């Protein structure tokens, strides 16, 4: 949906090249992605806002101009304002459609976006990924704080346990170099 906003790619490119972090390449990548995520969230909130309410606002603006046109007619400036409102509505409606397609993750799904099937597919993934409760030691936990606490305790228990068995390479058969062969490895290069 964001790719439909004019100048979006240039904006992301400018953000990406503007970040400076030091460390390993993977650390730099992770930091840049984290910073980009925050910039995208802020940009989305400030520039796009709520796509659905923006579409409704544009539609009500069109309704206003249509009512005025049927009563008194429109001046050239008002006709231009109505045309801009129609363009805005078209833009927001397209973005809303793309948003629903992204939410449904069903690019093959075509047709009426108001159909029951479309909305069912769009919301199915969200329902599938939503965790209502979790069972820990026979107890059913539903409160988020309690679930977090139990998961933390469980991982601490598993990761802090000292078992008898630890992986070891001591019993594996490796070819061993004698002292003379090992010292040859440390010699300077020669033809």
Residue 86 class from Cβ within 10 Å (0-12 exposed, 13-18 middle, 19+ buried)?
middle
User: Does residue 30 form part of some domain?
Assistant: yes
Enumerate the β-bridge partners of residue 140. Answer: 135
- CA distances 90 to 33, 84, 93, Å, are 32, 10, 5
Determine the pLDDT at residue 14.
Answer: 93
Q: Does position 108 have pLDDT exceeding 80, yes or no?
A: no
Show the DSSP H helices in 72-171 as ranges: 76-104, 116-129, 144-160
Determine the pLDDT at residue 110.
Answer: 57
Flag the least confident range among 92-96, 111-115, 165-169. 111-115
User: Does residue 40 form part of some domain?
Assistant: yes
User: Does residue 5 form part of some domain?
Assistant: yes
User: Does residue 31 form part of some domain?
Assistant: yes
User: Does residue 80 form part of some domain?
Assistant: no
Identify the residue with better confidence: 88 or 109.
88
Identify the residue with better confidence: 165 or 64.
64
Q: Does position 6 have pLDDT exceeding 80, yes or no?
A: yes
pTM: 0.46
User: Does residue 19 form part of some domain?
Assistant: yes
User: Does residue 60 form part of some domain?
Assistant: no
Determine the pLDDT at residue 40.
Answer: 92
Query: To which H or E segment does residue 133 belong?
Result: none
Stretch 25-39: mean pLDDT, rounded? 91
Q: Are 111 and 129 in contact (CB under 8 A)?
A: no
The number of domains in the chain is 1
Confidence class for position 148, pLDDT limits 50, 70, 90: confident
Q: Does position 191 have pLDDT exceeding 60, yes or no?
A: yes
Domain of residue 42: give its range: 1-49
**pLDDT tens digits for range 40-86:** 999 988 888 888 888 888 888 888 888 888 788 888 888 888 888 88
User: Does residue 10 form part of some domain?
Assistant: yes
């Amino acid at each position: 949906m964001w790719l439909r906003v004019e100048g979006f790619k240039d904006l992301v490119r400018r953000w990406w090249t503007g970040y400076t972090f030091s460390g390993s390449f993977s650390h730099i990548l992770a930091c840049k992605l984290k910073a980009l995520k925050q910039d995208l969230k802020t940009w989305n909130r400030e520039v796009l806002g709520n796509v659905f309410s923006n579409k409704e606002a544009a539609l009500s603006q069109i309704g206003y101009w249509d009512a005025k046109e049927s009563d008194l007619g429109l001046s050239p400036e008002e006709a231009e304002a109505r045309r801009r409102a129609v363009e805005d509505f078209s833009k927001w409606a397209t973005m809303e459609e793309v948003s629903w397609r992204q939410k449904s993750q069903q690019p093959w799904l075509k047709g009426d976006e108001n159909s029951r099937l479309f909305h069912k597919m769009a919301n199915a993934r969200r329902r599938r990924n939503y965790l209502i409760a979790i069972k820990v030691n026979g107890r059913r936990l539903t409160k988020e704080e309690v679930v977090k606490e139990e998961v933390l305790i469980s991982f601490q228990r598993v990761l802090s346990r000292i078992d008898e068995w630890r992986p070891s390479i001591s019993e594996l058969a490796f070819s061993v170099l004698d002292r003379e062969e090992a010292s040859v490895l440390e010699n300077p290069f020669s033809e």
